[in-house]
Amino acid sequence: MESIMNDSKNLSTVSILFHQTIADRLGLHITDHKCVDFLFTQGPQTAGEISKTMGLSTGAVTSLIDRLEKKGLVERKNDPNDRRKVRIFLTQDLAAMQKIGSLFESLAKSVWEQLSGYTAEELKVILDFTRKSIRIMEEEREKLLRNRPDV
């Protein structure tokens, strides 16, 4: 089990470094890159929702959104269900999204090839481990966010 724990830690570090490299290639801060990813997977969000999910101050999120707007990656729009709210949407800039996607193509292909070497039963175990690991990480992060000292 110690080997799995160590390798999980190494995977986490390599993942962070990979995403930092992607962000660098896009001319973004890593936080900005992960915000784009968050909006891509979760859909339009309010600045408050981004702040809560990413653990950033509202001021930091405002600056983040401003930077992404300048890059043409997001836009602020009134919420269609509540005009008092403003939601952050990814733009329809196909070229920008294709550029981001192209940076992940090789990784996705390699991971797909790796996974194709496992049986259906082995894939169930991998999926179970992955989902439980995500849940544990989210729970531990929430604990840290709840218990962080005022800085």
Spell out the domain ranges in the chain: 2-92
Confidence at residue 92, expressed as pLDDT on a 0 to 100 scale? 83
* Structure tokens given for 115: 């996974």
Confidence at residue 46, expressed as pLDDT on a 0 to 100 scale? 95
Q: How confident is the model at residue 150 (pLDDT cuts 50, 70, 90)?
A: low
Classify residue 97 by its DSSP letter.
H
CATH fold group of domain 2-92: Arc Repressor Mutant, subunit A (1.10.10)
71-87 pLDDT tens trace: 989 999 998 888 889 99
Confidence at residue 21, expressed as pLDDT on a 0 to 100 scale? 95
What backbone torsions phi and psi does residue 73 show, to the nearest 5 degrees? -95, -25
